[in-house]
Amino acid sequence: MEQDFSQLTESIKKYRGKPGILIPLLQEVQQIMGYLSKDTMAYLSRELDIPAAEIYGVATFYSMFKLKPQGKHIIRVCKGTACHVSNADGIKDALKTALELEDGEDTTSDMLFTLTEVACLGCCSLAPVIMIDDTTYGKLSPDGISRILERYAYEEGK
Ligand code: FES
């Protein structure tokens, strides 16, 4: 299905012809579209006369840019030192099992969750820590993961 780029008209107007705009432009576009598809980057390249390779280079260099559709809820698993030594791997494995994610997958098939790793969430005394959207969960054990996820699934009526 073709993506609808009409929502990007204002952004294109705002950034057209200005130097050094790629990062703020891509942030804004990602906020509007949810992620940066190849079609979106090609559209930006055409409209702003910026080489597609340059756009793609920036989008793939910075981890804040998402090239695939993201789940409704973003789960950040902290892999910083304090969390790592407090079984962050076990937490991540429990999440993958509960979300039924295969190796290499990060988003559930119902698009409810995307699982990602981060370096440190800034609350090391609560290790091991995850964040789901803006909510922090600390002092976790693998056994408690399903209960946390159930709340979100329940909200969706699943
Ligand atoms: S290392 Fe996990 S919150 Fe800092």
Q: What is the CATH number of the domain that holds 106?
A: 3.40.30.10
pTM: 0.80
The reply to whether 148 and 80 lie within a common domain is: yes
Predicted local confidence at residue 113, as pLDDT: 96
The reply to whether 87 and 148 lie within a common domain is: yes
End-to-end CA distance of the chain: 27
Which residue has its alpha carbon closest to ligand 1 atom 4? 124
The reply to whether 146 and 112 lie within a common domain is: yes
> Which tokens sit at 122?
């800034």
Predicted local confidence at residue 63, as pLDDT: 87
Predicted local confidence at residue 31, as pLDDT: 93
| Structural domain includes residue 66 | no
Atom of ligand 1 nearest to the CA of 82: 1
| Structural domain includes residue 142 | yes
| Structural domain includes residue 12 | yes
**Ligand 1 — pocket residues by CB below 6 A?**
78, 80-83, 120-124, 127, 129
Predicted local confidence at residue 9, as pLDDT: 94
Which residue has its alpha carbon closest to ligand 1 atom 1? 80
From 76, 118, 129, 130, give the residue whose CB has the most ligand 1 atoms within 8 Å, as the site to mutate: 129
b/e code 12-36 from CB counts within 10 Å (16+ = b): eeebeeeeebbeebbebbbeebeeb
**Beta 113-118 vs 135-137: how paired, if at all?**
unpaired
Predicted local confidence at residue 1, as pLDDT: 57
The reply to whether 102 and 56 lie within a common domain is: no
Residue linked to tokens 């930006």: 44
The reply to whether 46 and 17 lie within a common domain is: yes
The reply to whether 82 and 39 lie within a common domain is: no
The reply to whether 90 and 111 lie within a common domain is: yes
Are the C-beta atoms of residues 58 and 22 closer than 8 Å to each other? yes
| Structural domain includes residue 67 | no
The residues, ordered by sequence, that sit 6+ positions from 80 with a Cβ below 8 Å of its Cβ are 88, 118, 119, 120, 121, 124, 127
Q: How many structural domains is the chain composed of?
A: 2
User: Where in the sequence is the domain holding 13, given as residue range(s)?
Assistant: 6-61
From 77, 124, 140, give the residue whose CB has the most ligand 1 atoms within 8 Å, as the site to mutate: 124
> What stretches in the chain show pLDDT beneath 50?
none
* Ligand 1 mean position, distance from CA 125 (Å): 8
